[in-house]
């Protein structure tokens, strides 16, 4: 995959005017998220990791964003969205029940745990969930379709874009605090923003991105 | 008002007062004379106006440098005010040191160019506002290129140009501008310039919701000075005008104090002065207020002219 923002590393702002002690604390905490589950059981954790790999497959030539760890953190620390669908139980309970039900569906259909199945088979099961076609008793009345659309998708994608690696990928400047943006017009760039490479102009973009502070 | 605010304000007020005293240093106390005409009076008034034009030019130079850097010099023409205000500042210093009673063609050329650049800039800024979605709306007047800002460059050039006309006075005659007595003409120009600058400050302080009571100062003190110097322009010349002088001096001090207030405003933004690369651009414009000082000094020069040449 060609880089859209070559040479851009949002973490290079760490000691610049863009960040202060509070910014550094927040980012450090985010990078230091525990890689072992605090909320999920070992079985749920394996299933969760397998689901994350299918929902948000990641390149192998760079460290992966710890998606499952962020979902576990959100449940362990009870960081809620502020709203929830009435048909879904509270987020932690929904995740536990959904992962157990998915595993039960895998065992029922394929005789094996979800995380041990081939990616295409996993995708087929997730598609069934997305379509709301799963009817196993383990769902206990929770609609699989809603669980897919309002727990699996947002919790995993939000986790993905909470990490500096994905910020570099999309040229996001990171926390705009204490330094914000001053050039607000369309297509205007502050010197501390990432430069998007135009075809044939990658070298210039790389040079400018290495000066982003 | 916090202690820091009080200290900073009074410090700047003292600075402004010192600047005024220094500005007055070479002058004799204004006296009402009828005859003979003091041959040095015209040059003295012209040099006062050179200094005033220089202060406005310095304010424009710093302000346009910051704001056009913020605009990334998106249009090549955005360097024009930097060049012309720098030149205007240079010839103003030259005019301050020059005691000859004749105009200098380089100063004349630079001042005229600065005035015309300011007019062109006003045109550009108006065009920029009109081409934005919404055209002439409060939103665009607040957040697009400031319409009033280039006028300060015009004022620097125009006041400098008038300074050359005042200076270019044969000994024994009273200075005139286009056949009109110079004192009232300069006084009128000062009054109009102050009004325009008040309009700009009023618009932007309204945008800032007058969140600090001191933000009312530039829409109260300078308008009073503008009214008084305007009245002096159309009134009798052979009168002492201590109140006009007082309010013009207050306006001059306010110009410097305004930068002090703006410095406090920058400090109040997140990260304060440590985050100056953000807040110098994002906060209140540090170099803008001294335009008031420059205009007030022109007004004081006009008062001096009218007192030195009471029979015009």
What is the token pair recorded at B112?
A: 């005229």
Q: Report the gap between the CA of A14 and the closest CA in chain B (Å).
A: 14
Instruction: List, for residues B84-109, the tens digit of each pLDDT value.
Output: 999 999 999 999 999 998 899 999 99
**Distance of alpha carbon A206 from the chain centroid:** 26
Query: Contacts of residue B271 in chain A, CB cutoff 8 Å?
Result: 17, 20, 178-179
Range of the domain at B115: 3-25+33-308
Average pLDDT of chain A, as a whole number: 94
Q: Does B239 touch chain A (CB under 8 A)?
A: no
Inter-chain contact B271–A189, Cβ cutoff 8 Å? no
pLDDT band at residue A205, thresholds of 50, 70 and 90? Answer: very high
Label residue A209 exposed, middle or buried (CB < 10 Å: 0-12, 13-18, 19+): buried
Residue of A nearest to B70 (CA): A183
Residue of A nearest to B279 (CA): A179
Query: Contacts of residue A19 in chain B, CB cutoff 8 Å?
Result: none
Instruction: List, for residues B115-126, the tens digit of each pLDDT value.
Output: 999 999 999 999
Q: Report the gap between the CA of A173 and the closest CA in chain B (Å).
A: 14
Q: Report the gap between the CA of B214 and the closest CA in chain A (Å).
A: 25
Q: Is the pLDDT of residue B3 over 60?
A: no
Least confident of A201-210, B24-33, B232-241: B24-33
Tell me what pLDDT residue B39 has: 66
Q: Report the gap between the CA of A13 and the closest CA in chain B (Å).
A: 13
Label residue A135 exposed, middle or buried (CB < 10 Å: 0-12, 13-18, 19+): exposed
Mean pLDDT of B53-60: 96
Q: Is the pLDDT of residue B153 over 90?
A: yes
Q: Are B163 and B93 in contact (CB under 8 A)?
A: no
Mean pLDDT of B279-297: 94
Inter-chain contact A179–B72, Cβ cutoff 8 Å? no
ipTM of the complex model:
0.73
Q: Are B290 and B89 in contact (CB under 8 A)?
A: no
Q: Among partner residues A20, A178, A182, which is closest to B70 by beta-carbon distance?
A: A182
Q: What share of chain B in percent tops pLDDT 70?
A: 86
Instruction: List, for residues A76-97, the tens digit of each pLDDT value.
Output: 999 999 999 999 999 999 999 9
- CA dist B298 and B52 (Å) reads 6
Residue of A nearest to B71 (CA): A183
Least confident of A177-191, B14-28, B148-162, B225-239: B14-28
Query: Contacts of residue A20 in chain B, CB cutoff 8 Å?
Result: 271, 275
Query: Contacts of residue B72 in chain A, CB cutoff 8 Å?
Result: 183, 188-189
Q: Is the pLDDT of residue B285 over 90?
A: yes
Inter-chain contact B278–A182, Cβ cutoff 8 Å? yes
Q: Among partner residues B71, B276, B282, which is closest to A180 by beta-carbon distance?
A: B282
pTM of the model: 0.81
**Three-class secondary structure of residue B140 per DSSP:** helix
Mean pLDDT of A31-36: 94
Q: Is the pLDDT of residue B238 over 80?
A: no
Q: Does B75 touch chain A (CB under 8 A)?
A: no
- CA dist B261 and B214 (Å) reads 8
Tell me what pLDDT residue A3 has: 85
Total domains in chain B come to 1
Residue of A nearest to B282 (CA): A182
Q: Among partner residues B70, B72, B275, which is closest to A179 by beta-carbon distance?
A: B275
Tell me what pLDDT residue B31 has: 42
Q: Among partner residues A177, A183, A184, which is closest to B270 by beta-carbon distance?
A: A177
Q: How far is CA B105 from CA A85, B52, B110, B161, in A?
A: 79, 19, 9, 10
Query: Contacts of residue A188 in chain B, CB cutoff 8 Å?
Result: 72, 74
B191-201: b or e for each residue (b if 16 or more CB lie within 10 Å)? bbbbebbbebb
* Placement of tokens 């369309």 in the chain: A186
Q: Report the gap between the CA of A197 and the closest CA in chain B (Å).
A: 19
Q: Is the pLDDT of residue B28 over 50?
A: no
Query: Contacts of residue B143 in chain A, CB cutoff 8 Å?
Result: 184
* Placement of tokens 């993905």 in the chain: A160
Q: Does B34 touch chain A (CB under 8 A)?
A: no
Q: Does B133 touch chain A (CB under 8 A)?
A: no
- CA dist B148 and B125 (Å) reads 9
Q: What share of chain B in percent tops pLDDT 90?
A: 66
């Amino acid at each position: 995959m060609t880089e859209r923002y070559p040479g851009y590393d949002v973490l290079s702002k760490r000691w610049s005017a863009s960040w202060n002690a509070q910014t550094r604390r927040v980012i450090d905490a985010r990078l230091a998220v525990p890689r072992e589950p605090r909320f999920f059981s070992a079985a749920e954790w394996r299933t969760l990791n397998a689901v994350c790999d299918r929902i948000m497959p990641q390149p192998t030539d760079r460290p992966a964003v710890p998606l499952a760890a962020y979902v576990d953190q959100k449940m362990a620390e009870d960081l809620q969205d502020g709203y929830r669908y009435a048909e879904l139980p509270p987020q932690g309970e929904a995740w536990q029940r959904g992962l157990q039900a998915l595993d039960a569906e895998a065992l029922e259909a394929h005789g094996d745990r979800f995380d041990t199945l081939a990616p295409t088979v996993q995708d087929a099961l997730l598609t069934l969930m997305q379509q709301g076609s799963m009817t196993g008793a383990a769902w206990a009345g929770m609609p699989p379709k809603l669980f897919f659309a309002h727990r699996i998708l947002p919790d995993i994608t939000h986790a993905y874009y909470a990490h500096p690696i994905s910020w570099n990928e999309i040229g996001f400047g990171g926390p705009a605090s204490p330094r914000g943006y001053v050039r607000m017009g369309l297509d205007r760039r502050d010197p501390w923003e990432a430069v998007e490479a135009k075809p044939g102009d990658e070298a210039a973009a790389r040079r400018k991105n290495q000066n982003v502070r | 008002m916090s202690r820091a605010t009080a200290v900073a304000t009074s410090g700047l007020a003292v600075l402004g007062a010192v600047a005024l005293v220094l500005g007055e240093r070479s002058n004799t106390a204004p006296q009402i004379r009828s005859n003979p005409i003091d041959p040095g009076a015209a040059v003295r008034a012209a040099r006062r106006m050179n200094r005033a034009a220089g202060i406005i030019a310095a304010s424009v130079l710093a302000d346009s440098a910051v704001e056009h850097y913020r605009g990334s010099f998106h249009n090549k023409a955005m360097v024009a005010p930097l060049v012309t205000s720098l030149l205007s500042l240079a010839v103003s210093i030259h005019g301050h040191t020059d005691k000859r009673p004749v105009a200098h063609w380089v100063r004349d050329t630079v001042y005229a160019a600065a005035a015309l650049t300011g007019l062109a800039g006003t045109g550009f800024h108006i065009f920029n506002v009109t081409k934005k979605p919404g055209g002439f709306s409060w939103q665009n007047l607040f957040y697009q290129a400031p319409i009033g800002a280039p006028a300060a460059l015009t004022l620097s050039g125009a006041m400098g140009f008038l300074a050359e006309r005042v200076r270019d006075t044969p000994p024994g005659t009273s200075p005139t501008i286009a056949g009109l007595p110079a004192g009232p003409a300069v006084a009128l120009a000062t009054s109009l310039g102050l009004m325009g600058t008040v309009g700009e400050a009023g618009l932007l302080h309204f945008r800032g919701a007058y969140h600090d009571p001191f933000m009312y100062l530039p829409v109260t003190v300078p308008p009073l000075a503008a009214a008084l110097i305007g009245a002096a322009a159309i009134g009798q010349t052979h009168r002492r005008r201590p109140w006009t002088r007082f309010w013009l001096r207050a306006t001059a001090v306010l110009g410097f104090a305004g930068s002090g207030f703006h410095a406090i405003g920058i400090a109040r933004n997140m990260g304060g002065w440590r985050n100056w690369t953000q807040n110098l651009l994002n906060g209140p414009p540090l170099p803008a207020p001294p335009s008031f000082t420059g205009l007030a000094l022109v007004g004081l020069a006009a008062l001096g002219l009218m007192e030195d040449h009471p029979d015009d």
